Amino acid sequence: MQDQNRAEKDIADASRIEQFVKSSSLFYFAMAGVGFLICTYRHKSFAKILAIPSDPKEALTLLALGVMGALVLLIANFLFEEQFPTYKAFRHVLMRMVGAATLPAALYLAAISAIGEEALFRGAIQPVLGIVGSALLFGLLHLGPQGFVSIWTLWAVLSGLLFSWLFDETGSLWPSLICHFLVNAASMIRLRIQYRKFLVTQAQDESKKANAKLISGH
């Protein structure tokens, strides 16, 4: 019976994740499309912000900035979880939402969300509203579960400030894009690990309850 219930749950999780991936794809592809169209026709910056330097040292510098930015944000993310219970609780909600994703699906979601958000907020909006304005709008995209400003919003604003600074300092979208993707990917992988631990704990609790019922029945 437990095996049957687990199989049914796996099927339900797979279906839910498939729908989530489809809806996320539409949302982020639209976001990226709008962002890159504005970059191309309004700012005339598409080729410039996505250009890969011919000098290997310059290319490595952009890569290093993205990686270092990701390390800073991942450390900050850990500190937020330790200091703010509501942030940790929201991470648990995210874990229930996307923790069942396969590794390819998790990395895909990390990539399309980073591309869509960086194209729009950094490439399209930042040249108009500046670092602070684009970061604040980025934060408003990340409201809490009930649609209100939350600690999750504050985290997004702080992340947005770093992404925007990277873009402003380098004139390239690559550092913020790399940073954003790495943070998303690490978070998605961690959510997958937490979800599997959650399932084990849940199965153990159900087993204990079933055993208790059998004992009480005797």
Residue 16 lies in a domain: no
Q: What is the pLDDT of residues 47-77, one digit of tens each?
A: 999 999 999 999 999 999 999 999 999 999 9
Query: How many domains does the chain contain in total?
Result: 1
Residue 7 lies in a domain: no
Between the alpha carbon of residue 145 and those of residues 84, 128, 151, the distances in Å are: 16, 29, 11
Q: Give the per-residue pLDDT at 70.
A: 98
Residue 1 lies in a domain: no
- Mean pLDDT over the full length of the chain: 89
State the alpha helices, DSSP H only, in the chain: 2-41, 46-49, 56-83, 85-98, 103-117, 126-140, 151-170, 174-217
Residue 12 lies in a domain: no
Residue 14 lies in a domain: no
Residue 9 lies in a domain: no
Q: Which domain holds residue 172?
A: 21-47+56-208
pTM: 0.89
Mean pLDDT within 126-149: 89
Mean pLDDT within 112-121: 97
List all residues 6 or more positions away from 112 whose beta carbon is below 8 Å from its beta carbon.
Answer: 24, 25, 28, 29, 32
Q: Is the pLDDT of residue 186 over 60?
A: yes
Per-residue tokens: 123: 């490439």
Per-residue tokens: 128: 């108009």
Residue 41 lies in a domain: yes
